[in-house]
Amino acid sequence: MTLVQAPTELEPAAQSDGPRHAYVRRTHGPTFAALDLGTNNCRMLVATPAADGFRVLDSFSRIVRLGEGLHATGRLSPAAMDRALCALETCATRLARRPVRQVRAIATEACRKAANGPEFLQRVKQQTGFDFGVISGREEAELALESCAPLLPTDARRALLFDIGGGSTELAWVRLTHGQPELIGFDSLPVGVVNLAERWGDAGYCPDGFETMVTDVVERLLPFERVHCIGREIAAGGVGLLGTSGTVTTLAGVALNLERYRRPAVDGVELTSDAAEAALCALQALGREGLMQHPCVGPERVEFVLPGCAVFAAITRLWPAPRVIVADRGLREGVLLRLMRADRTRQGRHDGRRRDHCRQ
């Protein structure tokens, strides 16, 4: 989703074994909306429940770089806030076109960290009507797990899910019992594509600078490894890795030699370690100009691809599983699934009360 360069267009349907997220224009059921305001992107998904998941009615994604300069100043800049507000006003206009039963708006690392985050979100509420809640790193991991659960390997006993974001990277260590996931460990590392890009700048484009960036991220991952001994679990077998982020889907697009990014070709695909390494090396070899021209990258994301690849490289070197499952789904989908499940529960209670009343 983050790779589509025309972010206001409807996205294609996912082809996976999980919930079918078909993209349609008409519906007769209740409609729900999820907004995700991250450090780099502003995203919205509007959908209606379906028997096997949900059907998407509208999808929006725009790079707003809300966390630009945050690492250095500790505050959201006026320009970054204006960009985010412009995107959210577009979302508000699009939502006004259809009746929506419930909207949930979540903000992540940039608003968690910024000293003026609460002030900015109050301004958002006044100008757009969206009441954003700032979620914890744990809830980020839980929402990612909720949306990606159908893609987890059914024959594994453990899984490591990672989500490389703009301002943080979430890790979810998962126990699988008969294919059912249970979160048994999580962490939210304060490294993402935006703050890494700002810290390392042009150095990330040269091999030595890239390797130094990888080493820095590995050091941040080691405390999680010491607690959960994931490397030992991988060596014993039965552990799957699943990655969700623009970085991971970009690597998949490169590995598949896509002429343009296509979600159905990527969501749920398995990348072998060799294929992932080859794709990463291909992106490094392109340099800034080549990345700007690449159909799975483009000028808006050129600064963030290699920092994301450094996080991916750190994860897969420390935890060298034979393959990584790629997910083009994340927080928005997790929010929608929760909203719809809660609504079904409420409707079930109402139906039960009506039946009780009729028996009286």
Give the chain as a 3 state SS string. CCCCCCCCCCCCCCCCCCCEEEECCCCCCCCEEEEEECCCEEEEEEEEEECCEEEEEEEEEEECCCCCCHHHHCCCCHHHHHHHHHHHHHHHHHHCCCCCCEEEEEECHHHHHCCCHHHHHHHHHHHHCCCEEECCHHHHHHHHHHHHHHHCCCCCCEEEEEEECCCCEEEEEEEEECCEEEEEEEEEECCCHHHHHHHHHHHHHCHHHHHHHHHHHHHHHHHHHHHHCHHHHHHHCCEEEEEECHHHHHHHHHHCCCCCCCHHHHCCCEEEHHHHHHHHHHHHHHHHHHHHHCCCCCCCCCCCHHHHHHHHHHHHHHCCCCEEEEECCCHHHHHHHHHHHHHHHHHHHHHHHHHHHHHC
* Residue-level pLDDT at 354: 57
14/167: higher pLDDT: 167
pTM over 0.75, yes/no: yes
Residue 296, Cβ density class (10 Å: 0-12 exposed, 13-18 middle, ≥19 buried): buried
| C-alpha separations of 180 from 56, 158, 210 in Å | 25, 10, 37
* Residue-level pLDDT at 359: 54
Domain residue spans in the chain? 20-136, 138-327
Residue 154: band (very low, low, confident or very high) from pLDDT cuts 50, 70, 90? confident
**66 phi/psi in degrees, rounded to 5:** -60, -35
What CA dihedral angle connects 43, 46, 47 and 53, to 10 degrees? 10
Asked if residue 276 lies in contact with residue 312, where contact means CB atoms within 8 angstroms, the answer is yes
Query: In the structure encoding, which two tokens stand for residue 112, read together?
Result: 């968690």
Q: Distance between CA 275 and CA 258 in Å, rounded?
A: 14
* Residue-level pLDDT at 16: 32
Q: Distance between CA 82 and CA 87 in Å, rounded?
A: 9
* Residue-level pLDDT at 14: 32
* Residue-level pLDDT at 5: 23
8/56: higher pLDDT: 56
**CATH of 138-327 among 3.40.50.11780, 3.40.50.10420, 3.30.420.150, 3.40.50.2000:** 3.30.420.150
Mean pLDDT of the chain, nearest integer: 88
Asked if residue 72 lies in contact with residue 37, where contact means CB atoms within 8 angstroms, the answer is no
* Residue-level pLDDT at 358: 52
| Mean pLDDT for the stretch of residues 167-186 | 92
Counting residues of the chain whose pLDDT is more than 70, the rounded percentage is 89
108/2: higher pLDDT: 108
Residue 178: band (very low, low, confident or very high) from pLDDT cuts 50, 70, 90? confident
* Residue-level pLDDT at 239: 95
Counting residues of the chain whose pLDDT is more than 90, the rounded percentage is 75
Q: Is the pLDDT of residue 353 over 80?
A: no
- On the question of a common fold for 20-136 and 138-327, the answer reads yes
In CATH terms, the fold of domain 20-136 is Nucleotidyltransferase; domain 5 (3.30.420)
* Residue-level pLDDT at 19: 39
* Residue-level pLDDT at 4: 26
